[in-house]
């Protein structure tokens, strides 16, 4: 459709995100060559079986040689290591980008190692599922989803435009903000929800009065909605927590404060306070549906899906 | 299929649950007459337009006259009022049941008013969606879902069996436990999840650093999973909070304690503690899928549903 945009793309990391990029690039013919790299031999072998690229190399340094676009899709905690590895072999004029969920930390880890001759442009496609690994990716993952860029001051506009066109070709809607604001926004729309989901599933798992089999058996009453997020990749989420600490702690503090207020209202039987909150939150759901950010099918449409 | 089980069924309250029962009873021909009652004239009118019953009366007392089965489907806080209203006109031998999400409180509210001559059997179908009102119901809502009975000591076995057969005819899987245990189980699988969901949506709604439109725009990154539960009926959930107070406060205390532990691990960069929890919770999701309590389609299958 769009035609070849890059002679050679190097994908460092080939999990859910990396492998979805690979599938789209291949399907759309956006590159002549797709070099796939993973530090895990097993993952790399699987990527090859799935025919996600045109060549497969264990060494990230090797992978980026002569690449016009380098996409780093690794847990954010591994960013600095990757930056150090690839820096010496990057081709002058290459665009180097990432897909990490935290931006200030990734910039702090990668920018100091990037040679002057390349365009380092941090990015974050807001797309994914609770599955991970090269098998989890699919064509169209980024379709209609936002991709946020947090370019550094002095970024070459032409390189930025090229990168934006690339993501637009994958179906993404493009946005731009500064890294600090990105990290705050993501802390509330993504990081806090995941942490809360992990936490409640942990709490339920630890009960003595209610058995785990009861929790599972009756989970359709609400609990299961949390288990999807709590099934996300542990390495990725450990790294997000460690690398967006300040914004996450701020959101957690607010959440806990609000929960204490709610708890007190329950203890003292203050029905009107509960009713006020429970009414207000309905409007947020409505806005999300209107913005086309969720499907308006009751129960996430599971009823239609689980006709077994 | 099953044929007529009752001459006359009275449905007190005709929201999501009541109207789903009505639709199933009609479709399956389980009763000759379905008397529908609601204290809201608007709801009653709508039920009539939808042809959910065979007759429609504002007075609950009127509705239960000559009914063999009475199903009370009102917010749990209204249980006592309904019990008082219907008690004098209940037919001897009638089965009176409810669908409330808290059982000890409903029993305390209703049992003292029930005449000796009727069979009062508290029940709770674990089914529903985030929608409410008579339009929200649908045929098959209870299909494959659990219905938990919390019979009082001395309950007539034949009446209990009849009621169980009725719910089985609607497709429910039947369970039985004591009311206190029910309330603890539901506090963790349903009440806490709803409260947490309401709370996080409230927290997000209150931020200054991140605008509401940003929260909505980027909600697909995790946040939107919570908004479904937080769109549930405010009256119903206010009542649940007020009427299962002790169990809910216990679960909230545990949740907060666990969250403080997590928060501390994030603050002090204790990655291994985070990793341990994030790994453990994955197993819970897996068990829920294996138990057939959720669909194993990434992202709740939204990707398939929202091909717009």
The secondary structure of chain B as a DSSP string is: -----EEEEEEE--SHHHHHHHHHHHHHT-EEEEEEE-S-HHHHHHHHHTT-SSEEES-HHHHHTT-SEEEE-S-GGGHHHHHHHHGGGPPTT-EEEE--S-SHHHHHHHGGGS-TTSEEE-EEE----S--STTT--TTTTTT-EEEE-PPTT--HHHHHHHHHHHHHTTPEEEE--HHHHHHHHIIIIIHHHHHHHHHHHHHHT-SSS-HHHHHHTGGGTTHHHHTGGGS-HHHHHHHHHHSHHHHHHHHHHHHHHHHHHHHHHHTT-HHHHHHHHHHHHHHHHHHHHTTSS--SGGGGHHHHT--
Predicted confidence (pLDDT) at residue B305 exceeds the cutoff of 90: no
Residue B116, min C-alpha distance to chain A (Å): 32
User: How high is the mean pLDDT of chain A?
Assistant: 96
Interface residue A207 vs chain B (CB under 8 A): yes
B301·A303 Cβ contact <8 A: no
Q: Which of A220, A255, A276, A302 to mutate to test the interface with B (most CBs of B within 10 A)?
A: A220
Span of A24-33, A99-108, A299-308, B108-117 with lowest mean pLDDT: A299-308
What integer pLDDT is reported at residue A195 of this predicted model? 98
Q: pLDDT for B114-146, tens place per residue?
A: 999 999 999 999 999 999 999 999 999 999 999
Residue A200, min C-alpha distance to chain B (Å): 6
* Count of CB atoms situated within 10 Å of the CB of B32: 13
What integer pLDDT is reported at residue B187 of this predicted model? 98
Predicted confidence (pLDDT) at residue B29 exceeds the cutoff of 80: yes
B285·A235 Cβ contact <8 A: no
Q: Which residue of B has its CA nearest to A293?
A: B220
What integer pLDDT is reported at residue B107 of this predicted model? 98
Interface residue B301 vs chain A (CB under 8 A): yes
**Chain center to CA of B240:** 10
What integer pLDDT is reported at residue B15 of this predicted model? 98
CA distance A217 to A212: 9
Q: pLDDT for B39-61, tens place per residue?
A: 999 999 999 999 999 999 999 99
List Cα–Cα distances, B81 to B43, B45, B74, B235, in angstroms: 18, 22, 10, 16
Predicted confidence (pLDDT) at residue B1 exceeds the cutoff of 80: no
B288·A195 Cβ contact <8 A: no
Q: pLDDT for B7-25, tens place per residue?
A: 999 999 999 999 999 999 9
User: How high is the mean pLDDT of chain B?
Assistant: 96
Helix (H, G, I), strand (E, B) or coil at A163: helix
CA distance A42 to A8: 24
Residue A51, min C-alpha distance to chain B (Å): 22
Q: pLDDT for B142-158, tens place per residue?
A: 999 999 999 999 999 99
Q: Which residue of B has its CA nearest to A216?
A: B288
B228·A300 Cβ contact <8 A: yes
The ranges assigned to domains in chain A are 6-177, 181-269
Residue B75, min C-alpha distance to chain A (Å): 13
* Residues of chain A contacting residue B248, judged by C-beta atoms under 8 Å apart: 266
Instruction: Please give the residue that has the higher pLDDT: either B203 or A304.
Output: B203
What integer pLDDT is reported at residue A208 of this predicted model? 87
CA distance A102 to A191: 10
Where do runs of H (alpha helix) occur along chain A? Answer: 16-28, 41-49, 60-64, 79-86, 104-110, 157-169, 179-186, 192-205, 212-217, 224-227, 234-243, 245-267, 271-290, 302-305
Q: How confident is the model at residue A306 (pLDDT cuts 50, 70, 90)?
A: low
CATH of domain A6-177: 3.40.50.720
Q: pLDDT for A183-201, tens place per residue?
A: 999 999 999 999 999 999 9
CATH topology of domain A181-269: 6-phosphogluconate dehydrogenase C-terminal fold (1.10.3660)
CA distance B38 to B52: 12
A184·B251 Cβ contact <8 A: no
CA distance B20 to B137: 4
What integer pLDDT is reported at residue A308 of this predicted model? 45
Q: How confident is the model at residue B306 (pLDDT cuts 50, 70, 90)?
A: low
Q: pLDDT for B83-106, tens place per residue?
A: 999 999 999 999 999 999 999 999
A residues 21-80 lying closer than 8 A (beta carbon) to B: none
Q: Which residues contact A157 (CB under 8 A, 6 or more apart)?
A: none
Q: Which of A257, A285, A308 to mutate to test the interface with B (most CBs of B within 10 A)?
A: A285
Interface residue B174 vs chain A (CB under 8 A): no
Q: ipTM of this predicted complex?
A: 0.94
A262·B199 Cβ contact <8 A: yes
Q: pLDDT for A42-70, tens place per residue?
A: 999 999 999 999 999 999 999 999 999 99
Helix (H, G, I), strand (E, B) or coil at A176: strand
Predicted confidence (pLDDT) at residue A179 exceeds the cutoff of 90: yes
* Count of CB atoms situated within 10 Å of the CB of A157: 8
Q: pLDDT for A202-259, tens place per residue?
A: 999 999 889 999 999 999 999 999 999 999 999 999 999 999 999 999 999 999 999 9
Q: How confident is the model at residue B308 (pLDDT cuts 50, 70, 90)?
A: very low
């Amino acid at each position: 459709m769009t035609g070849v945009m890059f002679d050679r793309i190097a994908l460092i990391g080939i999990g859910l995100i990396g492998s979805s990029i690979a599938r789209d690039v291949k399907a759309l013919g956006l590159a002549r060559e797709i070099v796939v790299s993973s530090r895990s031999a097993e993952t790399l072998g699987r990527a090859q079986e799935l025919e996600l690229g045109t060549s497969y190399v264990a060494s990230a340094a090797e992978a980026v040689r002569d690449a016009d676009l380098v996409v780093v899709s690794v847990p954010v905690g591994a960013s600095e290591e990757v930056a150090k590895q690839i820096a010496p072999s990057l081709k002058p004029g290459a665009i180097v980008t990432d897909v990490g969920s935290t931006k200030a930390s990734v910039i702090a880890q990668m920018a100091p190692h990037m040679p002057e001759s390349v365009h380092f442009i941090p990015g974050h496609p807001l797309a994914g599922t609770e599955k991970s690994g090269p098998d989890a990716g699919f064509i169209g993952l980024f379709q209609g989803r936002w991709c946020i860029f947090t370019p550094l001051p002095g970024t070459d506009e032409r390189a930025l435009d090229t990168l934006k066109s690339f993501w637009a070709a994958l179906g993404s809607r493009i946005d731009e903000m500064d890294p600090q604001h990105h990290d705050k926004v993501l802390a509330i729309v993504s990081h806090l929800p995941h942490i809360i989901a992990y936490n409640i599933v942990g709490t339920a798992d630890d009960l003595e009065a209610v058995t785990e089999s009861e929790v599972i058996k009756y989970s359709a009453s609400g609990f299961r909605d949390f288990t999807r997020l709590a099934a996300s990749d542990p390495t990725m989420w450990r790294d997000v927590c460690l690398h967006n600490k300040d914004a996450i702690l701020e959101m957690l503090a607010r959440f806990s404060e609000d929960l204490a207020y709610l708890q007190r209202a329950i203890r003292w039987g203050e029905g009107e306070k509960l009713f006020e909150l429970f009414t207000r939150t309905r409007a947020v759901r409505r806005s999300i549906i209107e913005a086309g950010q969720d499907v308006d099918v009751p129960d996430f449409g599971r009823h239609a899906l689980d006709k077994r």
